[in-house]
């Protein structure tokens, strides 16, 4: 009977001490630093170059700064650039309704640094530009009073467009021709070059 009482007292004492031991261990676990995602700041330069035959007619460079996480694959999160103009377009109607088109360059980019030290970069590129115009009749003018054949017409812009998505793997300081495209109407050639360097 005595032995049973001693055993019961021991179990009771152990049960009382256990929460105290756990409470003392908890602050040490909470104080441990959380693992942080390491990133490498890089500068990505994207250059649109236009050619008319062999002649270079335009070169448009853009630079983006990206914090590239150390990872084996690309992570969510984009760096974005938008630049251009809003071009008026007549949409018809008796009141002369107008709308505006965004014309210019849109670039979305993200990057990651692989364990080998290379860089993965994903680019979504859009470029549009006004090249010429056409007359769209709004109303027919009286022939006897208006000698101008374009009277009663609105000059609508012709908007050319280029779009591309690129998945590239580059080394530090490397420049790569990511894509080349020919406009099927004008015959002009557009090339896109991408270079990447680590920000010191």
| Domains of the chain, residue spans | 39-198
For tokens 């099927």, the residue is 184
What pLDDT score does 7 carry? 58
What pLDDT score does 80 carry? 96
Structure tokens at 33: 């630093």
- Residue 53, phi-psi category: left (phi > 0), alpha (psi -120 to 50), beta (remainder): left
What pLDDT score does 71 carry? 85
For tokens 């700041």, the residue is 41
What pLDDT score does 49 carry? 96
DSSP state of 118: -
Considering the entire predicted model, what is its pTM? Answer: 0.71
Burial of residue 35 (number of CB atoms within 10 Å: 0-12, 13-18, 19+): exposed
Helix (H, G, I), strand (E, B) or coil at 142: coil
Identify whether the C-beta of residue 178 lies closer than 8 Å to the C-beta of residue 194: yes
Report strand pairing: 153-170 vs 39-52: unpaired
What pLDDT score does 142 carry? 57
The strand ranges marked E within the chain are 39-52, 55-69, 79-92, 97-113, 119-137, 153-170, 175-182, 189-198
Tell me the C-alpha distance between 123 and 179, whole Å: 11
Spans of the chain below 50 pLDDT:
1, 23, 26, 28-29, 32
C-alpha distance across the termini of the chain, in Å = 78
């Amino acid at each position: 009977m005595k032995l049973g009482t001693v055993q019961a007292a021991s179990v009771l004492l152990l049960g009382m001490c256990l929460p105290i031991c756990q409470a003392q261990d908890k602050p040490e676990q909470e104080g441990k630093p959380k693992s942080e995602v390491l990133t490498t700041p890089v500068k990505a330069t994207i250059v649109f170059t236009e050619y008319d035959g062999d002649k270079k007619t335009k070169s448009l460079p853009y630079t983006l700064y990206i914090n590239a996480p150390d990872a084996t694959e690309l992570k969510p999160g984009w760096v974005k650039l938008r630049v251009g103009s809003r071009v008026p377009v007549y949409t018809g109607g008796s009141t002369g309704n107008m709308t505006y088109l965004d014309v210019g360059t849109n670039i979305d980019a993200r990057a990651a640094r692989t364990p080998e030290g290379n860089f993965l970069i994903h680019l979504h590129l859009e470029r549009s530009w006004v090249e010429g115009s056409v007359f769209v009749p709004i109303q027919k003018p009286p022939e006897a009073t208006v000698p101008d054949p374009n009277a009663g017409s609105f000059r609508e812009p012709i908007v050319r467009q280029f779009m591309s998505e690129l998945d590239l793997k580059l080394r530090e300081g490397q420049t790569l021709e990511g894509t080349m495209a020919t406009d099927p109407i004008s015959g002009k050639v557009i090339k896109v070059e991408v270079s990447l360097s680590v920000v010191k």
